[in-house]
Amino acid sequence: MPVNLSAPQASDLLPISGVRIAATEAGIRKAGRKDLTAFVLAEGSSVAGVFTQNRYCAAPVQVCREHLTAGHDIRALVINTGNANAGTGAPGLAAARATAATAAQLLGVAPQQVLPFSTGVIMEPLPFEARIKPALPALMAQAEQAEAATGQAWLDAAHGIMTTDTVAKAASARAVVDGRTVHVTGISKGAGMIRPNMATMLGFIATDAAIAPALLQDMVQRLADESFNRITVDGDTSTNDSFVLMATHHAGNTPVQALDHADGQALYAALRSVAQQLAHAIVRDGEGATKFITVHITGGKTKAECAQVAYAIAHSPLVKTAFFASDPNLGRILAAVGYAGIADLDQNRIALYLGDVHVVQDGGRRPEYREEDGQRVMQQSDITIRVDLGRGAAEDTVWTCDLSHDYVTINADYRS
């Protein structure tokens, strides 16, 4: 059961002019579910992306990187689930290229104008010839003929990219830019193997706003750093993490050139709102999650060391199982702070707050702290841990979930 996360409704999702979507059942791994999704973008759209830092990156990630730097306008995205096309060597790379080339041919564009994405099991051959190739003609035709993607089409796409997700993930926002209303809609997927480092498993956000292409790459990077790069479920960075931002320029505004004026700020706020909702949804739907945990570190010398401490806490199986048990066994948090790798950390300056309860002061348990106060907070399903390092003014936040029996069940059974 996802933590305080309800399924998005088609009526909540804003169409984005210039984006058309189709999803189909290609039978890649399992029958009877949508597992192949296509985005077709209007001519003149701008696209930027960030990808996994995993050195063992999947074949489609390699192809995306090539195509995004080739300098052609991107006109389509093709996304399959059921198979990650990672650890598949030269045949896997060929299959990713063939996916892009086949879709491109059907659309009458160059292969470099299509981005392929895959998610699912690692190290299995991608069934391009058997499953994907036969499904592409109808899929691309359906996408080309579609209306500007409706809320229902976005919702279908959100379902079409799911793997172990239990709830589809989609969100929308509006902003006023240059006197015009612009629209933002995005989808994401992911529930396990989540410690994105540049991006999540898969995230796609589109806007009809015009954005200077030179700004788009900075924008997607900054968005990732404030959303998908601040979540973790199990500390495993996927081979396939990809986050793509698409701007169709259909809203008719003067292109946004920078983030430091009112229009840029308004647009960025709408994009960040969608990106953070999508990122939080991944944690709330984290495999086996029963609690959504915000880890907020303050008083650090640098933002980087705050992140380091936040991840040490967020990755500790002992902290995560204590939260699953609603047990305020908070010494485990102190232990994680201690091993986070800050060499000159002074344990006597550390403070710890659980929700609104001040637990630790000057490195030791406060005499006023009562176990029942900790217990009260631990019963909640949305909990904030705050640790003050007492050595500076920097801060950072990471979002994570607990570690439950269901995490083990899901991951022990994933392939069966």
Give the three-class secondary structure for 84.
Answer: coil
Which among 206, 119, 209 has a CA at the least distance from the CA of 163?
119
Residue 318 in the binding site for a copy of itself (CB under 8 A):
yes
Residue 372 in the binding site for a copy of itself (CB under 8 A):
no
Residue 355 in the binding site for a copy of itself (CB under 8 A):
no
Contact residue for a copy of itself among 1, 70, 123, 138 (CB under 8 A) = 123
Residue 66 in marked binding region: no
> What number of chain residues touch a copy of itself (CB under 8 A)?
71
Closest approach of Cβ 349 to a copy of itself, in Å? 11
User: Given the complex with a copy of itself, which of 86 and 266 has the nearer CB atom?
Assistant: 86
Buried b / exposed e over 161-181, threshold 16 CB at 10 Å, is bbbbbebbbbbbbebebbeee
The residue behind tokens 């229902």 is: 152
Q: What is 230-269 written as a DSSP string?
A: GEESSS-B-S--EEEEEE--TT-PPPB--SSSHHHHHHHH
Of residues 164, 200, 207, 232, which has the active-site annotation?
200
Contact residue for a copy of itself among 295, 330, 351, 357 (CB under 8 A) = 330
Name the DSSP letter for residue 387. E
User: Given the complex with a copy of itself, which of 343 and 393 has the nearer CB atom?
Assistant: 343
Q: Residue 227 and residue 222: Cα distance in Å, rounded?
A: 9
9-17, 38-46, 122-130, 222-230 -> range binding a copy of itself (CB under 8 A) = 122-130
Residue 87 in the binding site for a copy of itself (CB under 8 A):
yes
Residues 185-214 that bind a copy of itself (CB under 8 A): 192-193, 195, 197
Residues 382-411 that bind a copy of itself (CB under 8 A): 403-405, 407-409, 411
Closest approach of Cβ 61 to a copy of itself, in Å? 11
Closest approach of Cβ 230 to a copy of itself, in Å? 17
Q: CA-based diameter of the chain, in Å?
A: 72
Contact residue for a copy of itself among 4, 53, 145, 181 (CB under 8 A) = 53
Burial of 412 (0-12, 13-18, 19+ CB in 10 A): exposed
Q: What is 283-318 written as a DSSP string?
A: HHT-TT---EEEEEEEEESSHHHHHHHHHHHHH-HH
Residue 235 in the binding site for a copy of itself (CB under 8 A):
yes
Contact residue for a copy of itself among 334, 354, 377, 385 (CB under 8 A) = 334
User: Given the complex with a copy of itself, which of 296 and 366 has the nearer CB atom?
Assistant: 366
Q: Residue 31 and residue 370: Cα distance in Å, rounded?
A: 54
Q: Residue 163 and residue 326: Cα distance in Å, rounded?
A: 28
User: Given the complex with a copy of itself, which of 137 and 364 has the nearer CB atom?
Assistant: 364
Residue 337 in the binding site for a copy of itself (CB under 8 A):
yes
The helix (run of H) or strand (run of E) holding residue 204 is strand 202-207
- The answer to whether 333 and 319 are in contact (CB under 8 A) is yes
Among this protein's residues, is 200 annotated catalytic? yes
Residue 54 in marked binding region: no
Closest approach of Cβ 332 to a copy of itself, in Å? 7
Strands 202-207, 242-247: pairing kind: parallel
- The answer to whether 305 and 394 are in contact (CB under 8 A) is yes
123-131, 136-144, 152-160, 278-286 -> range binding a copy of itself (CB under 8 A) = 123-131
User: Given the complex with a copy of itself, which of 95 and 149 has the nearer CB atom?
Assistant: 95
